[in-house]
């Protein structure tokens, strides 16, 4: 059963892949630490470059995954030191992390958060190793009808779990799916929404979409933040270390929140930000007996850090086994697989064990490397926080331009990227989060083709969509997810 893992370690331990995992871990930590460049931006910007280098798919994926996990480590730095989350997953880290830094405990806070990140990620990677092959085996039986039901479930869970405003999350996802319908319809050859432009015939390219939506809109947002103050200095770091006493005190917290983060990560569409929030509120309920959470409690710091790193590993479960991304970042990684013409899904473990196993094995290695890097070098990584925006922004712009240009060699793609960037900026200003849009975009094509395939099997009878036990279960789960948050409080109130 663990053949894939043994083969995976053979792949991941080759000098090239080991080097790439280390390189990705360092780069990811930097990306996570830099405010504004989260894991999605980092991966989006580097994906075209990794592709051009001609790396084999497993190597490219190993590097990109290391960037992802590294960014979850790095995101905590600006949360703790500056009270500015480095990425969405680290929002809850500010609550107890920054008060600790203000008390002069920045060093121990960084140390403990590195250890919690490590513990959370380790729990989740072990979960991934045990759980993913089983799920893949079960998923082999999924036909188009079941896959369609699964995507409906994914969208339902995304609307409920992601973002503050479920309506806006849903609208964002629909917009993403609609953008995915642009281009020639593969089964009939009809042009859809192409405005007669040849460049749009193949649809909007994922890389253009991601870089526009995230990197370009980020540039515009940063301009606003840049003008609004900022530029405060770093608090003194002190020595970055952890004492056994603290680790022992946070032991239960790390374990619980690691497990919780893993489970949240598996749910399609819910990423690190949800995991961090769920873990923090749960942990506060369980262990905040003296009311110290929010004033610099080490457990309040360990909870979201264990959870967001665990969710990163957890979100690989649906991606590798079902082809459905568990988070915005895995949606981008899925796009990277598609660049290589690898169909992610249940067959990945049996047909491309070197990709699935190599990735999982590299997560073990990367995680160890991240702990080893982050304890002694935290001070060094923290330095990047003072990189001024006027250096950061032009660098993002250059990488975005070169990345898109060398994949497409035409300017139309760059114009499109800028246009999408403006759209992304407007959506963000209107209170949308962009992860649903990119998830809708990635899932949209699969959703339509599975629906149409299912209906051509049944000859047009919609009943096929809820015929098997699996699809019925998925539909019920989806409806329950949508209805329960609304219904449950009311029922409870009536009960009392």
Partner 1 sequence: MNRTADRVLGLVLIVLAAGAAAWATRFNVPFSYDPLGPKAFPMGLALILAVLSLVLVIRPGANGEWPDRPMALKLGLVLAVLLVYALLFTRLGYPLTSLCAVTVLARLFAASWRKALVTGVAMTVVTYFLFTQALGIGLPEGRWLSAWF
Residues engaged in binding partner 1 (CB under 8 A): 49, 52-53, 165, 167-168, 170-171, 174-175, 177-178, 181, 185, 187-190, 192-193, 216, 219-220, 222-224, 226-227, 388-391, 393-395, 397-398, 401-402, 405-406, 411, 414-415, 418, 422, 429-431, 448, 451-453, 455-456, 459-460
Task: Return the axis-axis angle of helices 93-102 and 298-314, rounded to nearest 10°.
Answer: 140
Other CB atoms within 10 Å distance of the CB of residue 314: 35
**Residue 185 DSSP one-character state:** -
Sign of CA dihedral 442, 447, 453, 456: negative
CA distances from 415 to 93, 400, 419, 459 (A): 37, 12, 6, 42
Cβ(208)–Cβ(404) below 8 Å = yes
Question: Strand, helix or coil at 192?
Answer: strand
Q: How far is it, in rounded angstroms, from Cα 7 to Cα 354?
A: 6
Tokens (6 digits) for 134: 């089983």
Cβ(311)–Cβ(89) below 8 Å = yes
Length of the chain measured in residues = 496
- Of the candidates 149, 121, 135, the residue with the CA atom closest to the CA atom of residue 313: 121
Classify 183 in phi/psi space as left (phi over 0), alpha (psi -120 to 50) or beta.
Answer: left
Q: How far is it, in rounded angstroms, from Cα 407 to Cα 199?
A: 14
User: Distance between the two ends of the chain, CA-based, in angstroms?
Assistant: 50
Q: Identify the helix (H) or strand (E) that includes residue 184.
A: strand 183-184
482-488, long-range: CB < 8 A, 24+ apart: 482/156, 482/159, 482/160, 485/160
CA angle 180, 215, 120 (to 5 degrees): 90
Residues 6 or more apart from 126 whose CB is under 8 A from it? Answer: none
Other CB atoms within 10 Å distance of the CB of residue 232: 11
Other CB atoms within 10 Å distance of the CB of residue 320: 29
Sign of CA dihedral 324, 327, 330, 332: positive
Other CB atoms within 10 Å distance of the CB of residue 250: 27
Nearest CB to partner 1, comparing residues 119 and 154:
154
Q: How far is it, in rounded angstroms, from Cα 335 to Cα 120?
A: 26
**Residue 343 DSSP one-character state:** -
Nearest CB to partner 1, comparing residues 14 and 226:
226
Closest contact distance (angstroms) between CB of 482 and partner 1 is 13
């Amino acid at each position: 059963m663990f053949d894939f893992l043994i083969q995976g370690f053979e792949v991941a331990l080759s000098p090239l892949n080991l080097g790439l995992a280390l390189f990705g871990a360092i780069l990811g930590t930097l990306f996570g630490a830099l405010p504004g460049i989260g894991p999605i931006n980092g991966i989006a910007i580097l994906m075209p470059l990794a592709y051009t280098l001609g790396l084999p798919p497993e190597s490219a994926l190993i590097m990109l995954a290391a960037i992802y996990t590294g960014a979850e480590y790095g995101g905590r730095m600006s949360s703790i030191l500056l009270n500015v989350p480095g990425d969405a997953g680290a929002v809850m880290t500010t609550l107890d992390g920054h008060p600790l830094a203000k008390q002069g405990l920045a060093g121990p806070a960084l140390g403990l958060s590195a250890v919690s990140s490590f513990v959370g990620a380790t729990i989740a990677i072990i979960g991934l190793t045990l759980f993913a092959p089983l799920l893949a085996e079960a998923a082999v039986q999924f036909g188009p009808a079941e896959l369609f039901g699964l995507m409906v479930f994914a969208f339902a869970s995304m609307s409920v779990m992601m973002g503050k405003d479920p309506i806006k999350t849903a609208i964002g996802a629909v917009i993403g799916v609609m953008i995915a319908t642009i281009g020639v319809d593969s089964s009939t050859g009809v042009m859809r929404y192409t405005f007669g432009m040849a460049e749009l015939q193949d649809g909007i390219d994922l890389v253009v979409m991601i870089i526009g939506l995230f990197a370009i809109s980020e540039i515009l947002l940063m301009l606003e933040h840049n003008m609004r103050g900022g530029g405060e200095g770093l608090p003194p770091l002190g020595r970055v270390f952890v004492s056994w006493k603290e680790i022992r005190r946070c032991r239960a917290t790390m374990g619980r929140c690691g497990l919780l983060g893993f489970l949240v990560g598996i749910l399609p569409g819910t990423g690190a930000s949800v995991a961090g929030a769920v873990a923090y509120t749960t942990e506060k309920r369980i262990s905040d007996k003296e009311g110290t959470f929010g004033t610099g409690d080490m457990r309040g710091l360990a909870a979201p850090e264990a959870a967001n790193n665990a969710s990163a590993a957890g979100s690989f479960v649906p991606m590798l086994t079902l082809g459905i991304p568990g988070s915005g970042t895995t949606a981008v990684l899925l796009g990277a697989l598609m660049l290589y013409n690898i169909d992610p899904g249940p067959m990945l473990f049996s047909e491309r064990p070197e990709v699935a196993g190599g990735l999982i094995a590299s997560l073990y290695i990367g995680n160890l490397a991240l702990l080893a890097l982050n304890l002694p070098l935290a001070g060094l990584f923290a330095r990047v926080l003072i990189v001024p925006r006027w250096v950061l922004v032009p660098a993002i712009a250059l990488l975005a331009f070169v990345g898109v240009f060398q994949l497409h060699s035409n300017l139309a793609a760059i114009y499109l990227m800028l246009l999408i960037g403006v759209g992304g900026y407007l959506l963000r200003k209107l209170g949308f989060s962009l992860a649903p849009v990119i998830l809708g975009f990635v899932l949209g094509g699969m959703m339509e083709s599975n629906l149409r395939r299912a209906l051509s099997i049944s000859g047009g009878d919609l009943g096929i969509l809820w015929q098997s036990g699996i699809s019925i279960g998925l539909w019920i789960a989806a409806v329950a997810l949508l209805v329960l948050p609304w219904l449950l409080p009311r029922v409870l109130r009536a009960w009392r």
